[in-house]
Homo-oligomer: A and B are copies of this chain.
């Protein structure tokens, strides 16, 4: 038997100019949209901007009280300076999450796209459109908010998969094929 508890997830898409966030509830195999948006990072110097980013994330956490958090694993950019800036933003975002005692789950962009669109080569617009469809939103969320919601959806899917593995006590037939989402429900392939 699977526990029938609700888990609230917050996804974060960190950036030094705009940081996306998305909050969803997961109850058994069902996902429900709670909120999403973009934190506009204020300030000039880096320390100021990181403080603004942390304060923004803390405000969202204090408003929605999520139980777990999800953030995209980043890879090195073609531009090394961008890699450094993104690294610092991501370091501050993870700091904001762990300082509120939230577990932090990390997924690659490939895993996020596969979870939401079904393949790893999806474009930004496809992610936005699929996030809207999966969560039953009237229109596509802004790009950073959509990426944050995609991170939360990816972890929701992974949690259900792990729970099923736990029930069956074996890895056979799962993991490689994975789950798909239909009408906001997670179903195995």
Contact = CB atoms under 8 A, between A and B. Distances in A.
Contacts of A50: 91, 94-95, 98
A84 B95 CA distance: 15
A138 interface: no
Interface on chain A toward B: helix, strand, loop, or mixed SS? helix
Given A51-B99, A86-B87, A94 B92 contact: yes
A41 B93 CA distance: 18
- Choose among A75, A89, A95 the residue with the greatest number of B CB atoms under 10 Å from its CB: A95
Contacts of A90: 87-88, 91
A106 B96 CA distance: 21
Interface in A73-88: 74-77, 80-81, 83-88
B76 A80 contact: yes
A96 B98 CA distance: 12
A80 B81 CA distance: 10
Contact of A87 (B84, B96, B97): B84
Contact of A99 (B54, B80, B93): B54
Contacts of A81: 76
A173 interface: no
Nearest 9 pairs of A and B residues by beta carbon: A87-B87, A91-B91, A76-B80, A88-B91, A47-B104, A95-B95, A51-B98, A91-B92, A84-B87
Interface of A: 45-48, 50-51, 54, 74-77, 80-81, 83-99, 103-104, 106
